Chain A
Amino acid sequence: MISALDPMLVDGVDTGDLLFVLLKVVVAFVFLLVAVMLKIWFMRKVIADFQNRIGPNMAGPWGIMQSLADGVKLFMKEDLVPENADRFVFKLAPYLSLVPAFLVFAIVPLGGNFNETRTLADGTTVTGAFGWGDNLTFLQVADPPVGILFFLAMSSIAIYGIMLAGWGSGSKYPLLGSVRASAQMVSYEAALGLAIAAVVLQSGSLSTNEIVAQQAGEGFGGVVPNWNILLTGFVPFVIFLIAGLAELNHPPFDLVEAEQELVGGFHTEYSSIRFALFFLAEFMNQITMSAIIVTLFLGGPAGPVLFGPAWIWGIIWFFAKLLVFLYGLVWVRATLPRFRYDQLMDLGWKLLIPLALGWFLLLAGLRVADVRNWSGAQTAGFVAGFMAVCMVMASLLMAAVRSARQDRLEREGVDHG
């Protein structure tokens, strides 16, 4: 049986419900397309400001139609399939990038009133719903019980798009780019998952609606928000942010399409609409990743109602947070230089994954302290002991890395003083 995931679907599914779900899908789809268009324009404008230029200013007011014009131009171009390409895989790859980018957005709560909990006719309680009386629904396309795992599953499917694009092109640089991409994405997925685990531990649920509902209301002392970024101690947020950037192949982790080294990486051989699809997917992933970060760490649509109708504030808070975050992404893109490949792998495997794992264990320990009602001294003792063990482990690891490097240099006959 397909379980009821949305208050609207609790009492069976009728035609009206189906139509409404369909409407939500269309709205999410159109929203993403329009958002990508504006995001590209926004990015180019902001980077132009950073570099003391004007940026796109010809198409429409302030150049806002620039990406639309670019899109139309790309559609009109000739569609090439290289002679050496595997035609089936070459044509399949852009869609394997695009579809997961759309699907992930389905689990993001875009709005809803998280300040009140309503009770339905059958006694179940709902937070963050939108509507009137018993006609309630979540402002997200779907809220599967495994919500955030769905995000991980889709980001692992998205790897195939890039990997197969590089292989299917039948030429060298795209293959190198795609091997880099898949190695990078597989490596950073572990850190990403561990950062998510910290949030899940805090919220006690995988569902995105529930994660946001847990962050609603006032936090410590009534002055700070009750957001996971504070509740999980900031470290998982930073890890998720870095791993997310790497997962997106966003600068400073854009080795995948490093122009100076690989021409264009995995999409070198692509032209016309297929190329446009890759770029659509890339920018959609940036928007979705920002939305997921806002949902997981910054409270999503949860926030106070300042004036006027309550239902509109969820949407306003969500988009305000999202916009701040998207600006941050552009800032990072304009500022940071690209990582070298070995630096990328070192950062992922030797720093982020151990740190994420250690922090997760610390949070789990504090959770046990909370449940078992440990005294302040006991908790402090646990934290101190845990930190000491981590220090010893980290210094052991560093010593091992150093001696291995020394051995290697000696074998290679390099005199390093």
Chain B
Amino acid sequence: MEASVFIVGAALILTGGIGVVAAKNPVHSALFLIETLTGVAVIFVLQDAHFLAAVQVIVYAGAIVILFLFVIMLLGVDKTVDWQLKEPIAGQQPLAAIIGASLVGLGVVITTIATDNLTGAIRRGGDRALDSGFTDVERLGRVLFSDYAMSFEITAALLTIAVIGAVVLTRSIGRDDLLDDLDPAPMEPSSAAPHGANDSDLEPDPADGERSAGDAGGE
């Protein structure tokens, strides 16, 4: 039972992760990211961390990826791009390969050497908290509002400051030179369509090319 749920969750995470990297369209990448996050939530439920699973879906899938999608759609970068033809940052591919390989190596080394005390939980008293007869929500609440009350408050203040800062920076009240930017820009037709018909003034879209070639052949 447990193993089969784990296999389903792990398959979700892995296919999602590969999809994020492999998908050519940024919106598809974001969708695969949701798949990965949901898979992680499944694993959390399997570990009895119900609260963490719910928050994972609410915060990451429900808010953060929505923001990603907003940015992708409204900036009009939601078109399929073949990065083989157009390299945005010179030399980033070998660099990314090196970093990725070293991270995998690090993971392998850690899991093979430190299998019995991977998270440090055993050193800190083992499963002391797990057996105390409360649900994970109650345990989290207790810890958050006793041991970590100070850091909780500081984080809350930090987030509030960040929100206010973001509003102040984007509004720029009192600066008339920036006021024109506040007017909503006319909507670009191309940002509305995944493969819009008005794409001609933008960079050539490989998918469009393929399709029109296919259509011509078909006719």
Residues in A lying within 8 Å of B, measured CB to CB: 1-3, 13, 84-86, 88-89, 92, 144-146, 149-150, 152-153, 156-157, 159-160, 163-164, 167-168, 170-172, 175-176, 179, 182, 186, 189, 206, 404, 407, 411
Contacts and interface: CB of A to CB of B under 8 A. Distances in A.
A10 to B, nearest CB: 15
B34 to A, nearest CB: 7
Interface of B is mostly: helix
Interface in B95-123: none
A395 to B, nearest CB: 19
Contact of A145 (B5, B57, B136, B195): B136
9 contacts: A2-B2, A2-B45, A86-B194, A159-B66, A160-B66, A170-B195, A170-B196, A171-B192, A175-B192
B194 A84 contact: yes
Nearest to B1: A2
B77 interface: no
Contacts of A157: 57, 61-62
Instruction: Find the residue from B31, B54, B135 having the highest chain A CB count within 10 A.
Output: B54
A114 B55 CA distance: 29
Nearest to B60: A156
A149 B58 contact: yes
Contacts of A86: 25, 27, 194-195
B66 A182 contact: yes
B189 interface: yes
Contact of B69 (A3, A163, A407): A163
A146 B51 contact: yes
Contacts of A1: 2, 48
A153 B62 contact: yes
Nearest to A152: B58
Contacts of A13: 1
A189 B58 CA distance: 10
Contacts, number: 103
A149 B51 contact: yes
Interface size of B as a range: 35 or more
Nearest to A92: B31
B78 A159 contact: no
B99 to A, nearest CB: 30
Most chain A beta-carbon neighbours within 10 Å: one of B31, B50, B187: B50
Interface in B170-201: 173-174, 176, 179, 187, 189, 191-197
Contacts of A84: 193-197
A3 B1 CA distance: 12
Q: Which residue of B50, B176, B192 has the most chain A CB atoms within 10 A of its CB atom? A: B192
A160 B46 contact: no
B137 interface: yes
- Which are the 3 A-B pairs with shortest beta-carbon distances? A156-B62, A149-B54, A153-B57
B42 to A, nearest CB: 11
A149 B191 CA distance: 34
B53 interface: yes
B77 to A, nearest CB: 13
Contacts of B63: 156, 186
B57 to A, nearest CB: 4
B50 A146 contact: yes
B54 A175 contact: no
A170 B66 contact: no
B187 A172 contact: yes
Nearest to A154: B57
Contacts of B2: 1-2
B66 A145 contact: no
B57 A170 contact: no
B148 interface: no
A153 B50 CA distance: 12
Interface string B1-16: 1100100000000000
Nearest to B52: A146
Contacts of B34: 160
Contacts of B189: 172
Given A2-B5, A145-B136, A411-B179, 5 more contacts: A145-B51, A149-B51, A153-B54, A159-B62, A170-B196
A110 B40 CA distance: 30
A343 B191 CA distance: 27
B194 A156 contact: no
Nearest to B38: A157
Given A89-B27, A411-B179, A182 B70 contact: yes
A51 B194 CA distance: 42
A146 B176 CA distance: 49
A170 B54 contact: no
A167 B78 contact: yes
A89 B58 contact: no
Given A144-B50, A167-B27, A153 B196 contact: no
A137 to B, nearest CB: 19
A352 B216 CA distance: 56
B82 to A, nearest CB: 17
Given A1-B48, A404-B173, A407-B173, A171 B136 contact: no
Contacts of A186: 63, 66
Contacts of B194: 84-86, 89, 167-168, 170
A153 B59 CA distance: 8
Given A150-B54, A156-B63, A179-B73, A171 B135 contact: no
B50 A167 contact: no
Nearest to B55: A149
